[in-house]
A and B are shown apart, each in its own frame.
Chain A
Amino acid sequence: MDTIKRRPTFKIDKNTLSGVVAIGFTLLMLVLVALDAKDGKRFSQIVAGGLYQGMLIFMVAAGLSIVFGLMDVLNFAQGSLLMIGAYVGFEILSSLSTDTKTNAVLLSIHVVAFTPIATTLLIEIAMIPLYRFVPKLAEAGRPSSHLLAKMTASALIGTPLGLLLGSTVADNLGSSADTMRVIGAVVVTALASVDMVRDPLLFGIKWFINEISTRFQIGLAIIQGRQAPPIETLEYKPSSASDKAVLGAILLSTFMAMLLNTTETTALRFGIAAIAAVFAGTLAGIIMETVFIRPTYVRPFFQIVLTFGIALVIREVIIYRYGIATQGNLTAYLPRGLAGTFPPHFLHGLFPNLETTIFNYWIFMIIMGLLMMVGVQVLLMRTRIGIIIRAGVQDSEMVESLGVNVRLVFTAVFALGAGIAAMGGIISAGFISVDPVMGDLFLLQAIAVVIIGGLGSYAGTSLAAIIVGLTRSSAGYFSRQQFNTDGLAPIAVLVLLCIVLLVKPSGLFGKEH
């Protein structure tokens, strides 16, 4: 008989313990802040401030973490990619002047890009119940996509045509923006009316519209996973009934353009700058990986020196071009007359209703960061490329042996990380100061985040970014109170780093080898 009682052992595994310690540290800081501030306004400000800082750091750390996990490369130039995003965005913003012509072009882009998308969404959403309950309709094909294709193509022509004609007239005659819009609409309407009577007049334009819409329809069919319509059925036949729809769509897109305020293009300017920034960052990432890092996969030490060197070069180029002085956020850099165009108007001011000192822009940064965080998580967990990345983190040689071009995946992942960092750059440029050392500061914080989260763990990086952000802002609060400076914030992060490393050297979600 076995009567010996086993003494119960209290053994918490290190994963849980490290998590408890790290989150506990941050919560403790926040509690201290709450006790000290005794003020809901102040407290919510510090939490929101911490979250936005965490999100910005996350945008550098995300690429750092995935790239390290997959390729064992610690990219010391990741912060420079953020800087590239900020400065490229700045170049674009300062090149878009505010005269009526530029505004008209911007508005055209806006309408062309958004009107058809919004229309499609509305039509497709409206059709969902119809298709579900009337299966025969679905079999008969979807008229909505046909109409949509025509509308897209029409908007491509109608909007710029109307707006540019209008703005030219307005510039020459000195009329107001409102007059310009009316004139644009009148010109398009006149053209359309004439065409109703005399068919051949707009034949060239309609042929062009048909060419575009044919391709658009086939592309849409492929995206939706349907059989693409045979190309012969889509051939252009003069005076077919759909031409009337095309003219209608041209008119519609012009009127849509009229409904929008032509002078309020700041959101669009920001969008264009962000796209350019992400594009530049991604391109820089691709060049970095293929030209510089690829030859050094067999020499890990070289990579560190090399990426560090790249970071120095990028910093010096920026100093050469823009000078070394810190000048606050990008608004201060913009040429006279453009200063009001960034950040976008809808992000100005304080977050309403709460009567706090939370800026709208903070909320924007937090939302963008969360979108990236969730987006990459979905990419990793739900897509084929995600499966490949997660498998590659463990054994990239085996992935290659299954027929996957791992080198290409490496480049893609590097580019993805670079794109996210560049996005972080243009976003941060709207609020924090842009200068040639911002890359280095972000890099240090991001490295701390990646180590706290556990090298190579994306979930760890996400959590650690939030923890670090909150730690920074609460430490910053005390630091400002006691010493009138933010200096303690980075030190608190290092303290947190040390504590986590003492409890679990591989980080919160890291695997112990």
Chain B
Amino acid sequence: MSEPILEVKDIHTFIGQFHILEGVNVTVQRGEITVLLGRNGAGKTTTLRSIMGLANVRSGEIRFKGREIRQMRPFKVARLGIGYVPEYRAIFRDLTVEENLKIAEREAGDLARRLDFIYSLFPDLQRLRKLGGAQLSGGQQQMLAVARALVAENELLLIDEPSEGLAPVIIEQLMAAIRQLSAHTTVLLVEQNFHMASQLADRFVIIEEGRSVLSGPMSDLVGNDAVISKYLGAA
């Protein structure tokens, strides 16, 4: 097996005084889709934020392509080749679709190089490119948020709850896009929607009260109702 692209080892993260992550381990293999599962408030989002450098990780190790990135500033983490798609579709509402993409350029010309690929994944965005972010529907905003992470040549994408609050038809479209882009990049996904997670992911990590408790290939989990109901509630 090749060297993992991302290794998170026993991280402890604090938000203010609160000890949120109390030992999370995540290993992401290159070329795969890994999903973080767990109940609300288990610490999935905080795990992604810890990787990005957006949270206060007091101890543990985070290695990207073998390099320690814990305590690096977020923009440096991003420049190493990690794209972040936060929850709640955090696009820039006062910017047009085009500007939302433009801002993600790390070198001049990034967008021009990748635009065909982006529009092939999300044809809607081409039509909407002059519109303001606030004028887009929820699904379109989510697609823009994912597209934005594709502008630079990222080797790893962290995608947080892409399906949240979206209609089933839109979720299908989004799943197709993520499956397609995973041919080019590695993905670490947070997803509450077990159906979507099981369709997309190669591997899973379950987080429970700030600890990673179980991980393995997705096939181990699918159909294992006992585990699913124990950690994730009703499947």
Query: A interface vs B, CB < 8 Å?
Result: 384, 387-388, 390-391, 393-395, 397-407
Contacts and interface: CB of A to CB of B under 8 A. Distances in A.
Interface string B105-126: 1100000000000000000000
Contact of A395 (B74, B75, B79, B92): B92
A390 B94 contact: yes
A394 B73 contact: no
A398 B75 contact: no
A400 B105 CA distance: 12
B92 A391 contact: yes
A394 B54 CA distance: 17
A88 to B, nearest CB: 34
A401 B92 contact: no
B79 A403 contact: yes
A384 B101 CA distance: 11
B52 A404 contact: no
Contacts of A407: 73
Contact of A401 (B86, B93, B105): B86
Nearest to A394: B92
Given A394-B92, A403-B106, A387 B54 contact: no
A394 B86 contact: no
A393 B94 contact: yes
Contacts of B84: 398, 401-402
26 contacts: A384-B103, A387-B95, A387-B102, A387-B103, A388-B103, A390-B99, A391-B99, A391-B103, A394-B92, A394-B94, A395-B92, A397-B54, A397-B74, A398-B92, A400-B73, A400-B78, A401-B52, A402-B75, A402-B104, A402-B148, A402-B152, A403-B79, A403-B152, A405-B73, A406-B75, A407-B73
Contacts of B183: none
B93 A394 contact: yes
A459 B68 CA distance: 44
B214 to A, nearest CB: 29
A337 to B, nearest CB: 53
B95 A398 contact: no
A384 B75 contact: no
B95 A390 contact: yes
Nearest to B52: A401
B90 interface: yes
A56 B141 CA distance: 41
Contact of B102 (A384, A397, A399): A384
Interface of B: 52, 54, 73-75, 78-79, 84, 86, 90, 92-95, 99-100, 102-106, 148, 152
Contacts of B148: 402
B104 to A, nearest CB: 5
Nearest to A391: B92
B92 A390 contact: yes
A412 to B, nearest CB: 14
Contacts, number: 62
B90 A398 contact: yes
Contact of B75 (A387, A390, A394, A400): A400
A403 B77 CA distance: 7
Contacts of A404: 75, 103
B90 A395 contact: yes
Contacts of A395: 90, 92
A402 B96 CA distance: 17
Contacts of A397: 54, 74
B72 to A, nearest CB: 12
Given A387-B99, A395-B92, A401-B78, 12 more contacts: A384-B103, A390-B92, A391-B92, A391-B99, A394-B92, A394-B94, A401-B52, A402-B84, A402-B148, A403-B78, A404-B103, A405-B73
A388 B95 CA distance: 10
B112 to A, nearest CB: 14
A406 B75 CA distance: 8
A388 B92 CA distance: 10
A394 B103 CA distance: 13
A219 B105 CA distance: 25
Contacts of A390: 92, 94-95, 99
Nearest to B149: A402
Contacts of A405: 73, 75
Interface centre among B90, B92, B93 (most CB of A within 10 A): B92
A390 B133 CA distance: 12
A388 B99 CA distance: 9
A401 B74 contact: yes
B9 to A, nearest CB: 22
B190 to A, nearest CB: 15
A403 B106 CA distance: 7
B153 to A, nearest CB: 11
A41 B33 CA distance: 75
B86 A398 contact: yes
A400 B86 CA distance: 12
Given A391-B103, A397-B54, A403 B75 contact: yes
Contacts of B95: 387, 390-391
Contacts of B104: 402-403
A310 to B, nearest CB: 27
A453 B150 CA distance: 37
Contact of B74 (A384, A387, A400): A400
A512 to B, nearest CB: 14
Contacts of B106: 403
B154 to A, nearest CB: 9
Contacts of A402: 75, 78, 84, 103-104, 148, 152
Nearest to B108: A384
Contacts of B94: 390-391, 393-394
Contacts of A387: 95, 99, 102-103
A385 to B, nearest CB: 10
Nearest to B84: A401
A397 B90 CA distance: 10
A402 B74 CA distance: 8
A345 to B, nearest CB: 45
